[in-house]
Amino acid sequence: MLKGEFFRDEEKYSLYLNKVNSVMKDVKIAFRKPIYPVSEALNQYLEKHNRTTKIQFLYEDLLRFSDSVNILDKEGKDTLWLGVMYPEHEFNEIEANLNKIYTLLHSDGDEATLPYLKVDTIDFCTFGNSKPFRIRVRNILNDNHTNFYIKQADASRIYGLEIEDLLSPNRINFLIYKNTLIEEHILGIPGDVFIQKHLQNCTELEKAQISKEFVKFNERCLIGLLGDMRSYNYVIIPIHDFDQVIYRIRPIDFDQQSYEGNLKVYLPQYFKENNVMVSMVLEKLKPNSIEQYRKEVRSQIVKRVTSSQSRFNELIAIMKKDNIAPEANVTELKTALQKLTYDINFKYCKTMGDIIETGIKFVLKNYKKAY
């Protein structure tokens, strides 16, 4: 949506790299964003669309661990996750509940597999806003394992998950019980790991395809107001297709959904962690190709909104009445979007839900004009 949002020539890009540190000073992220409670209206929406569960197990139940150890990666670096341990008499009860949650998440609560499930590890991260627990469940019959997450329920994060499910090519599987959010694990290679260890091994054709995906990802984040997409907050998914490998980019962190006032927060291109990706876009894609891919994203979003109009309207109606960001952030963001789009309707937005709705209407209106 930004005019010239990717710099068009090497000279301008060089100036961009020289100024990236000062640019990043403008992108202020509230890492400890407050957790917003789930309203009754949102809870009813989630229940209507089978996003709730009745299992009586809360996030707080996992906080009763008695000991922990730092988890290191293969290179001996701290991953910022803790492996937690529980007294044996408590772990048996916790494991039984976690196995039931696994069946609810993946097989609609079918208990036939419960005797074959074992919780291998429970990890805890104090770095993220939601302070998640990562659960690894293993099927003892074949040693296949699956991860899922238990987090503090945050209304803005839930809106992000639902918007991603409705507007993006990706489906999201999650459940809510009171103040507890259960999310499935999203498969893929973390963006920072991919950039550091895998990108240099890609062919030139693959790099061009990844560049295209980054442009599309950048556009989806802006339209959906999904912020803080640094390289470690999204994954890159390689998919083998006949004689080639194609790549998809998918967000895995929705903590900064519709919260910050700074427009740049919603554009992955402005984070220095993504400099390599931006540089590759400028090298591999021509300006008219960049614009073409942005139009493709807007076209796809229009089709998804149209095909799920009732559910989208229902969600936005609830979001418009919900308080999920400070008033100052709403004012800053709507002012920036009005200047960007020249759409006077942003001026009358009072909540982040209003801004999302106005942005989607802007895309719909311009799509109809173009076609």
Rounded-to-integer distance, Cα 150 and Cα 178, Å: 12
Q: Is the pLDDT of residue 9 over 80?
A: no
* Higher per-residue pLDDT: 239 or 367: 239
Per-residue pLDDT tens for 285-305?
999 999 999 999 999 999 999
Q: Which residue has the higher pLDDT, 12 or 361?
A: 361
Q: Residue 281, by phi and psi: left (phi above 0), alpha (psi -120 to 50) or beta? A: alpha
pTM: 0.89
Structure confidence at residue 29 as a pLDDT band (50, 70, 90): low
Per-residue pLDDT at 27 exceeds 80 = no
Query: What confidence category does residue 71 fall into, taking pLDDT thresholds of 50, 70 and 90?
Result: very high
Percentage of the chain beyond pLDDT 90 is 78
Instruction: Tell me how far CA of residue 16 lies from CA of 24, 263, 274, 279, in angstroms.
Output: 11, 17, 13, 10
Q: Name the E strands within the chain.
A: 67-72, 78-85, 117-125, 133-139, 145-152, 174-177, 180-184, 189-190, 234-241, 244-251
